[in-house]
Every structure is written in structure tokens, then in C-alpha cells.
Amino acid sequence: MLSDAEGAALAPDVSGLPSSADVLAARLAFPAGLEQPEGSFRFSADALLLAAYASRRFSPNVATRFIDLGTGCGIVAHACMLLSGNMALGWGIDCYPALIEAGIRNAQRLGLAGSLRFLCGDLRDSVFLKQMSNKIGLVDAVISNPPWRLLGSGRLPADEARRTALFGDASTLGVFAAAASSLLKPGGRFFCLVGAHRTADMLAALSEARLRASSLLFVHKKEDSPAALSLLEARKGSRASLEVEPPLFLYGPRQVLTPESLEFCPFLR
């Protein structure tokens, strides 16, 4: 159920917003300067790559309505808004109230409070998801960087919020795919990022959720290194065949970002 506090998160207090000069400075510094609660997962380039991948596929000259699942401090949602020229209307969902509050404050600093909302909820709660879709309607796009590292595959962080953001079990990808499917309108798109070694698992989860994978992009750290990440697009109710795009190489000689990676995502600078 949506509590009064959770409902309020959909309409944050816009009193005392920063000046236009402060907003410009915050946008120029982005992603530096974002508030991230102590002990929570610290966002990385993965989030920026996902935002770039999704936003470049938003329909031009149309206010795309999207939801960011597992939003954390809002890094993906904020980056999508900025990369789309604020031609979008977004919502971020996370299960930790402290992260939702940070997302709201970050939106205010970036001048996005009027077009970006945050809501606390559990993606395994079908009642919450139904209330969410009833309140805002089905959306054009859902975006997520789910916890794709499997429990037992690495050392667990001591903090619970950080563990939840990084590690899941065999059902986790399916939970995110099913949530995305329930929130998307027919023909809507789900954009997600997973470790390259979990690509087959994500494809299976998409199929189970009746989402048809339409595009796959492998991200490599260097030309001579194996794929590190997979960026996937899937569509609800589509019969499109899967297109594997040319790979993206992040670094060239001397660990310098490649021109292609900077063109793909200018926030990597």
C-alpha cells in the first residue's frame, strides 16, 4: 500500500529551490556533487552508460514517460533527463527511504523537481506495482540496473543497502523484468544493464516476462578484453528480432577514454 509519506514522495516540496545559477553549476558538474547517503551503493560508470543507452532511444520531440527501477540516489533518472534535454517525465522507485529522499534533493539541485518524482516501494509487491500503474498510468519506458551479481559470487558488503544494490539471487532478474512488464504500455521499452556473463539469464527473464529483446550492445573495457557489460533493450508485445550492435570499447591506449565512448556518453569525462 502507498503510505502518506510514500505518496508525498511523488510530489516533493519545491519551496526553497536553488537559483538558476546554482542549477546551471550543478548541471555542469554532473554527476559530481550528487548526494549519496553514507553506506549506500556508490554509483559508477555503469549507471551513466545505461542512461545514455536508454535516452538516445527516447522518441524525439516527445515527452517520454519513464520509470527507473532501483533508482538509488537517482543517478540514471537524472542523467536521462539531462541527456534528453529535459524532454521526459520520470519516476524513480527504490526500497530505501533514505535513497528516495536523496533522489528528491538531487532533483531539486538539478532543477528537475518538476519533472522527476521518487517513490519508495518493493518490486516484489504486486499491490504496490498495481497502485503505481493506477496512479500514473502505464509508461513508455522502464530503465534498470538490477543487482546482477549472484549471492556467493563475491564478498558481500557489510551495509544492507549496498548488498541489496549489488547482489541478488537466481530470481532477481526475473523480479525486475516482471515489474517492468507490469508498468509498460503495449509497445513500451525496457532498458537494462547486466554483467556480460549474465546476458543469457537476462534474456531468459525477459522472455518469461513477455518482453521481446530487440537490441543488445556489449561493452568492453578495451579492444583486447572480453565484454564486461551488456546493455539490452526489450519491447512489450513486439515480434522484433534481436539486433546485436557493434561493441563499445571504453578505453584506448594508456587508459584514455575513446572518442566513441565519450560520444556515446559525455558524462564519462
164-173 pLDDT, tens digit per residue, is: 776 778 999 9
Q: Report residue 23 CA to chain centroid gap.
A: 22
- Please report the beta strands in the chain, taking only residues with DSSP state E, as ranges in sequence order: 64-69, 88-94, 116-120, 139-144, 149-150, 167-168, 184-195, 211-220, 227-236, 243-244, 248-249
Q: Count of H helices and E strands in the chain?
A: 10, 11
Angle CA 58–62–68, to nearest 5: 45
72 has pLDDT over 80: yes
pLDDT of residue 80: 95
- Omega cis (within 30) before 37: no
48 and 82 Cβ atoms separated by less than 8 Å: no
* Out of 146-160, 221-235, 252-266, least confident range: 146-160
Q: List the grid coordinates of 267.
A: 558524462
pLDDT bin (cut points 50, 70, 90) of residue 6 is: very low
Q: Could you say which architecture CATH assigns to the domain 45-268?
A: 3-Layer(aba) Sandwich (3.40)
Using H for helix, E for strand and C for coil, what is the string for 71-127? CCCCHHHHHHHHHCCCCEEEEEEECCHHHHHHHHHHHHHCCCCCCEEEEECCCCCHH
pLDDT of residue 40: 67
Mean pLDDT of 139-152: 89
79-116 pLDDT, tens digit per residue, is: 999 998 878 899 999 999 999 999 999 999 999 999 99
192 and 161 Cβ atoms separated by less than 8 Å: no
Mean pLDDT of 15-20: 75
Place of cell 504496490: 128
Mean pLDDT of 50-78: 92
Quick count: other Cβ atoms within 10 Å of Cβ 195? 17
pLDDT bin (cut points 50, 70, 90) of residue 12 is: very low
185-219 pLDDT, tens digit per residue, is: 999 999 999 999 999 999 999 999 999 999 999 99
Q: pLDDT averaged over the chain?
A: 89
Q: Where are the domains of the chain?
A: 45-268
pLDDT of residue 3: 43
190 and 67 Cβ atoms separated by less than 8 Å: no
How are beta strands 227-236 and 211-220 bridged, if at all? Answer: antiparallel
Could you tell me the pTM of the whole model?
0.89
220 and 257 Cβ atoms separated by less than 8 Å: no
Place of cell 513477455: 210
